Amino acid sequence: MALLEIKDLTVHFATEDGLVKAVDGVSYTVDRGQTLGIVGESGSGKSVSSMTVMGLTRAPNAHISGEILFDGQDLLQASDDELRKVRGDDVAMIFQDPLSSLHPFYKVGKQIAEAVRTHRDTSKAQAWDRAVEMLGLVGIPEPRRRADAYPHEFSGGMRQRAMIAMALANDPKLLIADEPTTALDVTVQAQILELIDRLQDEFDTAVVVITHDLGVVAETADDIAVMYAGRIVEKASADMIFHGPEHPYTWGLLRSIPRLDTPRDEELVPIAGRPPSLITLPGGCSFHPRCPYVRDAHRRTEPGLVPTDADPQHLVACLLDQGTRRRLWGQLEAGETPKEARALAMEDGEVELDTDVAEAGTEPGAAAARAMDTAQTAKEEEAG
Amino acid sequence: MTRLTRARLAPALLIAVAGLAAGCGSSSSEKSSSKGGTNPGGAEIGKGKQGGDVTYLAAADVDFLDPGQTYYTFGFMVRDATNRSLYGFKPGEEGPSPDLAASDPQISPDKKTITIKMKPGVKFSAPVNRAATSKDVKYAIERAFTANVPNGYASSYFAEIQGAPAKPISIKKLKPFSGLQTPDDQTLIIKLTKPVAPRVAAALVLPISVPVPESYAKKFDAQTPSTYDQHVVFTGPYQVKHDASGKVTGRRPGKLIEIERNPNWDKSTDYRPAFLDSIRIEEGNDDQTVATRRTISGQSLMCCDSGQPPIPILKRALTRYKDQLGRVASGGTRWIAMNMTIKPFDNLNVRKAIVAGFNRSALRLTRGGAAVGPIAQGYIPPGIPGYDESGGTKGFGDTLDFMKNPEGDAALAKKYMLAAKKQGVPVSSDGKYAGKGGILTIATNADPGLSTAQVGQQEFSKLGFKLNFRKVPQDTLYTKFCGIPKAKVAVCPNVGWFKDFVDPESMLEPTFDGKAIKPAGNVNWSQLDDPKINAAMAKAALIEQGDARNKAWAEINKQIVAQAPGIPYSWDDSFQLESKDVNGIMNGNFTTWDLSFSSLK
Amino acid sequence: MAIFIIRRLLWSVVLLVFVTFLTFLIFVVLPSADPALLRAGRNPTPEIIASIRKTLGLDQPWYVQYFKYLRNLVLHFDFGYSYQNFLSVKETIFPRMPATISLALGGAVVWLLIGIPVGILSAVKRGTFIERFAMGAALVGISAPVYWLGLVSIYLFSTDIGKFPIFDATGNYANPWDDFGRWLSSLILPWIVLAVSFAAIYARFMRSNLIEVLDEDYIRTARAKGLVERRVILRHGVRSAITPIVTIFGLDLGILLGGAILTETVFNIPGIGRTAFDAIQKSDLPVVQGTVLIGATAIVLFNLIVDVLYGFIDPRVRY
């Protein structure tokens, strides 16, 4: 049995501007000891889905449905108190910005000890010792002395290590790492990722890494789910995502990874346009306004998340013909720009493009952008 | 001669600074009367229940306990209950009665010598514990001429005593006055350099004649200023609590004054019944609304040091709490002063036009209206001799047309304005002032005075006068503006003068004698300086008390009113409140409760 | 830390001297009443005025007067003598301090006890009837003038004129060591009246602070740790949200210790504020100076206390 099984999870927030469909029918599983990477831009629902696992999105205006089976227990049905007991014990979480995620007024050791004492019936001294032990384990030198320091006296990397120490202090079965390296220097990023990887082996913890940067999960993840506008658009083994991605959005993400082998001053290729408003999702394939390969039919038909012919574990939600997809990816991998790739595909008659729509679609109207921002803010508030 | 001196020499009551808010005025009966006004609930003077304690709600502290320095109404009230002067006033009586003195003062025919006999056996409180003598009174007067004991009136009323220094001197340089002789302990002879004995004798009602024991007070008086104020000894039926050394412990400024019976007081030597056992003066009741409400609905309370309750409460009290309202004539006039040295008020026709057009009745409304007293018609108020001779409530309306209609007479005002136009004053053809520039006006910044000033401003504007209006606190108004001729204030809408003596001279001389104009502390606000009036005053001052004197001053009053130096508008009374169980007696001289005569029911 | 405090104390002395100078200057420049004329009575001779001027030292140029004042203050801790009644300013003001301190501290306890919990509750129960009611009440509390509230409370509850005579409202103040019961009874209404607007302000401030803090990442961390909500709010949220309140509390207390003029006036509490008020009206500069000095000292001192305290409350601040 999978450690975590999420079935058809939807998380909607009722706001003044309308219903924000933050997560809209997401399913995935994580096994013991496995690492799942969830990748997407901000607003794709990747954080909301995992925070819902922790029960951190519960609010009067949140409508949550589906199933979240953790160790066989449906966390959606659990009471607040039951969920609280799971939180920080069986499921732990680390966050993007370690400075703002640690309480500025309490000593680091105390904050870790508090996590211990919340779930374990230990003395203050024992909890403190555990905190020191954990700090040592995450590689903080002189842990006994550093435990007595405040977060602002730590460097960025040390803070994230402390966060990890706090998260792992109760030996959780599942660790959710929400953008664990985004706020850190590139060199420190690697150290932290390596640390998570090492500890995962040591503790046999399942890990869900949430990131907007495919590079972060390149080395560590077993499986990768790509989310867009509240849905999973592609899900496969990490290997497959990097070598045989089938969704145009995934292609865009892959092309925006900074590579060590490309010169620093070379411009990264971002995905044109902005994520759509979660209140008024585009009809049909929700990626269509930004998709360079869009066909008229894509604006009406919603794609389903279906396995590819080659690999039943490789799920893609795209209306393009599988052959076209492969050819396009081939062009892109060969170094063509999306425009060139598209041109080639057009020659084949595979893609009939309405250039105007494609161009226009990359610039969502100001009103939509505003609605998007509002929804985003509202959602974050509820989540917090 | 004693008959003459005795009659009208009522006390110099110095109410606040230049008639500051202190409510005053005459009895509402609109009759000439200096009698004590109305005591609430028909209380009978001299009768009452023995014993009991009363709390007196006051806003501020007394100025001084030192009789050589006390100067204001509230201080006078406490002084009268705790310290006896040579002569005093029983409530409800017109003239003074001997208090420490055994009899009326004897004045020599040349009016240069006064002889006073004192009662024996009036003892000082602890720690002095001996009988007061004439030497103590002599020292009391002498010390009031020193810089250590700044006294506001010694040099005004007693300067003619032989040997008195012209200027305040240090107490170290003080030499016994040759004009104060004490042949024995009970006799004081006052020798004067000028024939002004009647006035000096009259002024002996002032606290300056309260005996001060030199040997005890010397060490305190040596300080600059004297600290005798905190070590006063008492001769009255009451004393402020003090310790064995004489240090006053019962006065905490701004908090309270604890007044108790003086064990050394001998009832047989005094006219005061002294019914109450103790009076606790609770200070800091700045909020008059609360203080008056507390008094009306409370027990054993008396109120207030501030002269008059707020107008709305007063109006209600006049109908609903009549039995708890004391009322007394205080002999004061309120008016709006026009500075005759400033254009266009240097023109008589302009002044007449303004007075003629002014709705003085509206002005009086700001002080409480008809219920609190008549509209002023001149500068001798009811209760002061010369009032009847000045036409009473009718005033000079019959002969001075511009004083006839207190509601204002627009047609007459126009006539005078056009007359002024002929004399070169800038006036439009419809009788409106057409001069340029605002007219500097200094008004008080709080009600009721502010309302008065605002109504005044409106009335002025009817004739086209634009007042350049500036609001300042009352004290600032007097000491920095209206009382300083150099400040060149054209209109002072909030002035008033209250009796110093029950004598017309003290009403008119300081306020309208050209010779009385001073560079600072000036109270001749209009700066009226008419040689004829000045001469008439000098002449009338020497006339002995009686009908001739009253007539002479009434005539001067008329001459002043004819010059239209101001717009007189109110002769309002003074009001005080008490609780239901209090039998309060008003004393017309200090225009508030007489603690030695009031009692509990 | 010690150096910081010493340096600040020295600066405070400089500041206080400056404050006395400023007070003096204001009196010289602004048209206040002439104290000598006030003292001399209504129809004084020039000689008396001159003599009083000399006695009060007013005949000298203002800077000489100021220098003498300052010299006496610094060398002898002598605050001078009232122009009005020649009483020692020190003896006038110092005995009034217990009343002002009692009023300020008691009021502070009341407003903290009301304002902080109401603020927390409103932040936590955001969007509910409780929040709307509490914030509505706070708005009323802020808008209600102390003066009006004082009178209403007196008319309702004071033993002399109240409809429900419960408290000895006006003019009954006694020092606690003389009569503890009366001290308490006479101060309950003033405490409440003084506290109302402060409680309202603090409730609103606490609410907005806490709402902001509850959005912080470390609150999410605390929840992710599995802490019970109560602990999340109180130990993690309130702990941060209350920090800025310490600052304004220190300042408010400092200001109030200089005298709560309106409350002292309505309830006739013999405190510093009313002394200052009366003295200003009478142009009694030495007394005004004394009260200004006391008030400024309280503000300066509490500023320092707040700064030092802040170092303990917020570990990020160190001197």
Chains A and B touch, using 3 or more CB pairs below 8 Å:
no
Return the pLDDT at A360. Answer: 38
User: What integer is the mean pLDDT of C166-170?
Assistant: 75
Q: How far is CA A222 from CA A34, A35, A96, C210, in A?
A: 6, 5, 21, 41
| Angle (deg, nearest 10), helices B531-541 and B547-562 | 170
Residues of C in contact with A103 (CB under 8 A): 218, 221-222, 236, 239-240
Q: Is the pLDDT of residue A366 over 60?
A: no
Query: Is B480 within 8 Å of chain C by CB?
Result: yes
Closest CB to B475 among C38, C265, C274:
C38
**Under a CB-based contact definition with an 8 Å cutoff, are residues B594 and B13 in contact?**
no
φ, ψ (nearest 5 deg) of residue B131: -75, 145
Q: What is the pLDDT of residues B352-380, one digit of tens each?
A: 999 999 999 999 999 888 888 899 999 99
Return the pLDDT at B474. Answer: 82
φ, ψ (nearest 5 deg) of residue C199: -60, -40
Q: Is the pLDDT of residue A382 over 50?
A: no
Closest CB to C161 among B64, B298, B483:
B298
Q: What is the rounded distance in angstroms from the CA atom of residue A320 to the CA atom of residue A311?
A: 17
Residues of C in contact with B333 (CB under 8 A): none
User: What integer is the mean pLDDT of B571-599?
Assistant: 90
Highest mean predicted confidence (pLDDT) among A344-353, B327-336, C289-298:
C289-298
pLDDT band at C146 (very low <50, low <70, confident <90, very high): confident
Q: What is the pLDDT of residues B123-134, one digit of tens each?
A: 999 899 999 999
Count other Cβ atoms within 10 Å, centred on residue B546.
13
Which uninterrupted H or E stretch holds B569?
strand B566-570
Return the pLDDT at B17. Answer: 30
Highest mean predicted confidence (pLDDT) among A167-171, B154-158, C104-108:
C104-108
pLDDT band at B66 (very low <50, low <70, confident <90, very high): very high
Comparing CA positions, the residue from C160, A241, C244, C68 lying closest to residue B291 is C160
Q: Is the pLDDT of residue B484 over 80?
A: yes
Q: What is the rounded distance in angstroms from the CA atom of residue C173 to the CA atom of residue C106?
A: 14
What SS3 class is residue A93?
A: strand
CA angle C51, C56, C58 (to 5 degrees): 85
Q: How far is CA B34 from CA A199, B95, B541, in A?
A: 106, 9, 21
**Under a CB-based contact definition with an 8 Å cutoff, are residues B36 and B91 in contact?**
yes
Cβ separation A104–C315 shorter than 8 A: yes
Q: Is the pLDDT of residue C36 over 90?
A: no
Q: What is the rounded distance in angstroms from the CA atom of residue B543 to the CA atom of residue B528?
A: 23
Query: Is C38 within 8 Å of chain B by CB?
Result: yes
- A196 against A184, higher pLDDT: A196
Q: Is the pLDDT of residue B401 over 70?
A: yes
**Range name among A276-290, A314-328, A347-361 with the lowest pLDDT average:** A347-361
What SS3 class is residue B343?
A: coil
Query: Is C218 within 8 Å of chain A by CB?
Result: yes
Q: Is the pLDDT of residue B539 over 80?
A: yes
Q: What distance in Å separates residue C105's CA from the closest CA in chain A?
A: 27
Return the pLDDT at A270. Answer: 64
- Mean pLDDT across chain C, nearest whole number? 87
Q: Is the pLDDT of residue B5 over 50?
A: no
Cβ separation B476–C269 shorter than 8 A: no
**Under a CB-based contact definition with an 8 Å cutoff, are residues C44 and C35 in contact?**
no
Residues of C in contact with B155 (CB under 8 A): 45, 47-48
Closest CB to B294 among C41, C170, C266:
C170
Taking CA atoms, what residue in C is nearest to A151? Answer: C316
**Range name among A212-216, B82-86, B226-230, C235-239 with the lowest pLDDT average:** A212-216
Q: Is the pLDDT of residue B36 over 90?
A: no
DSSP B388: G
For chain A, give the percent of residues with pLDDT over 70: 85
Q: What distance in Å separates residue C19's CA from the closest CA in chain B?
A: 24
Q: What is the rounded distance in angstroms from the CA atom of residue A49 to the CA atom of residue C294?
A: 60
Q: What is the rounded distance in angstroms from the CA atom of residue B315 to the CA atom of residue B302?
A: 18
**Range name among A33-42, A248-257, C13-22 with the lowest pLDDT average:** A248-257
Which neighbouring-strand residues pair with B472?
A: B444
- A367 against B382, higher pLDDT: B382
Q: What is the rounded distance in angstroms from the CA atom of residue B187 to the CA atom of residue B181?
A: 8
pLDDT band at A348 (very low <50, low <70, confident <90, very high): low
**Under a CB-based contact definition with an 8 Å cutoff, are residues C261 and C273 in contact?**
yes
**Range name among B84-98, B307-321, B568-582 with the lowest pLDDT average:** B307-321
Return the pLDDT at A261. Answer: 55
**Range name among A198-212, A337-351, A358-372 with the lowest pLDDT average:** A358-372
What six digits make up the tokens of A264? 């620093």
Count other Cβ atoms within 10 Å, centred on residue A269.
15
Q: What is the rounded distance in angstroms from the CA atom of residue A59 to the CA atom of residue C229?
A: 13
Return the pLDDT at B9. Answer: 29
**Sheet of strand B332-338, all strands in order from the earlier edge strand to the far edge:** B467-472, B439-444, B491-498, B332-338, B566-570
- Mean pLDDT across chain B, nearest whole number? 87
Q: What is the pLDDT of residues A187-246, one digit of tens each?
A: 888 888 888 888 888 888 999 999 988 888 888 899 999 999 899 999 999 999 988 898
Q: What distance in Å separates residue C168's CA from the closest CA in chain B?
A: 12
For chain B, give the percent of residues with pLDDT over 70: 93
Return the pLDDT at B161. Answer: 95
User: What integer is the mean pLDDT of A134-160?
Assistant: 90
Comparing CA positions, the residue from C184, C167, C166, C171 lying closest to residue C266 is C171
- B122 against A353, higher pLDDT: B122
pLDDT band at A131 (very low <50, low <70, confident <90, very high): very high
E strands, B436-541, are 439-444, 467-472, 491-498
Q: Is the pLDDT of residue B230 over 60?
A: yes
Q: Is the pLDDT of residue A357 over 50?
A: no
Which uninterrupted H or E stretch holds C107?
helix C97-124
DSSP B571: -
